[in-house]
Chain A
């Protein structure tokens, strides 16, 4: 047998194996929610989360939050005296899998609404199924495209890039920065952010002097940062939601660039601070107020809701909730509150209309007010700038 034929055979074998595995992954985790005290027929909601794959670190707090809150809602008597059941399925951070599990939730479990997905790619892939079934979807991912590419059935709880980018650019302007270098991952969140930044930067006083990218899983960004070093940039703007952010911060420190690194809400994770260590010091990024509860106006409804959630979550899971937990909380309650406002029997269309009429819902990510043209419902007021100082998040004035 010649070596050529042999390589061919191995490649075919590999793809065959991949196909088998991805098919079997469709039958992944299914978690029948807590049936609670009430015995009536439950309201079934589906949640598509990334419990494995790249976004597993985001999916876990989301799952924790939903399980905790479903228990709480059912202990308090459920909705119209009936319990709610949230069926959580894993999309393995894969768009194809997300479609498959969504189909199953719709056809087999007959869910009345969908929460998710964790990622932007999976959220968009689910759209065809959502559209076919005509049920509302509340995504907890951050891509601008989710609500910019408008669909009447699709809502979004995470701060979209079209909200965070202008907020961050304004911060840079206020700092007196003129020349900005951009570094982003080539994946969904990074690419989405880059598109928005390039779209909006023309209207600011900022000038984009370098644009670099890296791939998820890359181990070193020294080469990209060396290019940025020669570009004369006064600040580096990074758009990335993965662990590569810590590598960028460390490489920057090693190269001694000596300019400000500004990130995004994708870096609002403790793992970033742990991973980057001393290089995380003075890292600045915009995110919602949940990271430092003092950011909420004292005595406000927002502060009461957030403090209560943070306390219960911390007690149950031993760690403070992150922003992703907050997005899941908002997704669940936007649906549940709308259901409570409706009579016991309602159609999917009525549920959609009721979610759209949400006005001033106080969640963790901010105060949501949807309209027929705005399905993200958040504003600049829900964002603050953070600075990493002494290894913890602090409010940047």
Chain B
């Protein structure tokens, strides 16, 4: 196998990996704010693509505007989901909340099925077709968009967390909710904001990928599971870890195809995931949260 092919495998891994990373970021944000795994995260990915297609094809908006509508509308759905379902569980029992997110994911995909039909729907490439050559390997222009949007999302999150009052409040919430409440942070509001952001991130991934794969009402769970695995692999609750987890997972799959077999790529990725968790239960970059007495 030549260097060009090797590079092509790396690029394929980065492409899938950055998709997983965007979805993983959503898991991580909500976990940090609530301590809950949001099983509806994959549906935000589905809605991002689906609502953009709806705005573009059914409403006739230009593509950039349609994409914006798709992401904003999905963020709104995320917010409404939090206000209407998550917040209603007053005691915040994590087990109950998880069941609520599972139910929510089914409601969202069924609604999409009824509103937009059972068939897959396409979206045009952001900037036409074409690809660039990177040392002989092919890099599709849409992949550059995916990588770029992921990078933008990470930088944006970093800025939010480290340079804004809202971000600091969210971090305070993640570290210790009761203490955050005592110093006057509206922890309920932080939960809503994290759902809004998580939905927007998932939607961004869905929007960026749809031109390559089309979208349908049932695309959520598969990507959701990959994103979840990436978040666990990197270490829950840490945005950088989510990105690392996503990229590692994508590369693992690609390397499995290159050197072993495409039949077992998911199994191999899963075995590595289990192996990592065995050695580091908190994930690659996760901090151990074991409390000392």
Tell me whether B281 and A4 are in contact (CB under 8 A): yes
Taken residue by residue from 102 to 113, chain B's Cβ proximity to chain A (1 for < 8 Å, 0 otherwise) reads as: 110010001001
Q: Which residue of A lies closest to B255 (CB)?
A: A223
Return the CB mask of A35-60 against B: 1 if under 8 Å, else 0. Answer: 00000000000000001111011011
Query: Which of A100-108, A270-278, A336-344 is the interface stretch?
Result: A270-278
A6 at the interface (CB under 8 A from B): yes
How many residues on the A side are at the interface (Cβ–Cβ under 8 A)?
Answer: 51
Judged by a CB distance under 8 angstroms, whether B162 is at the interface is no
Q: Tell me whether B257 and A224 are in contact (CB under 8 A).
A: yes
Interface residues of A in 6-27 (CB under 8 A from B): 6, 9-10, 13-14, 16-18, 21
Q: Is the CB of A226 within 8 A of B218?
A: no
With both beta carbons as reference points, the residue of chain B lying nearest to A93 in the complex is identified as B218
How distant is B73 from chain A, measured CB to nearest CB, in Å?
22
Closest chain B residue, CB of each to CB of A212: B262
Check A220–B119 contact: CB distance below 8 A: no
Nearest-Cβ distance from residue B162 to partner chain A, whole angstroms: 25
B212's contact among A10, A219, A230, by CB below 8 Å, is which? A219
Q: Are B99 and A17 in contact (CB under 8 A)?
A: yes
Measured in the bound complex, the distance between the Cα atoms of B106 and A256 in whole Å is: 39
Q: State which of A10, A214, A256, A271 has its C-beta within 8 Å of the C-beta of B94.
A: A10
A256 to B140 Cα, complex, angstroms:
11
Given A222-B12, A223-B254, A226-B8, is A13 in contact with B99 using a C-beta cutoff of 8 Å?
Answer: yes
A305 within 8 A of B: no
A381 CA to B263 CA, complexed, in Å: 35
Stretch of B13-21, B169-177, B186-194, B196-204 on the interface side = B13-21
Our pick among A222, A229, A246 for the contact of B214 (Cβ within 8 Å) is A246
Whether the Cβ atoms of B213 and A243 lie closer than 8 Å is yes
Cβ of B95 within 8 Å of any chain A Cβ, yes or no, is yes
User: Are B15 and A275 interface neighbours, CB within 8 A?
Assistant: no
Task: With a 10 A CB-CB cut-off, give which of B11, B117, B212 has the most chain A CB atoms.
Answer: B212
When distances are taken between beta carbons in the complex, the residues of chain B under 8 Å from A292 are none
The distance from the CB of A140 to the nearest CB of chain B, in whole angstroms, is 16
A17 adjacent to B262 (CB under 8 Å)? no
> In the complex, which residues of chain B have a beta carbon less than 8 angstroms from the beta carbon of A57?
118-120, 216
Give the B-binding residues of A (Cβ under 8 A). Answer: 2-4, 6, 9-10, 13-14, 16-18, 21, 51-54, 56-57, 59-60, 186, 212-220, 222-224, 226-227, 229-230, 243-244, 246-247, 250, 253-256, 271, 274-275, 277-278
Other CB < 8 Å A-B pairs besides A223-B253, A253-B129, A275-B120, 12 of them? A3-B282, A9-B94, A13-B99, A56-B218, A212-B262, A218-B222, A220-B213, A223-B8, A223-B12, A223-B258, A227-B262, A256-B138
The 7 lowest CB-CB distance pairs between A and B, nearest first, are: A217-B222, A56-B118, A222-B12, A243-B120, A223-B12, A223-B257, A17-B102
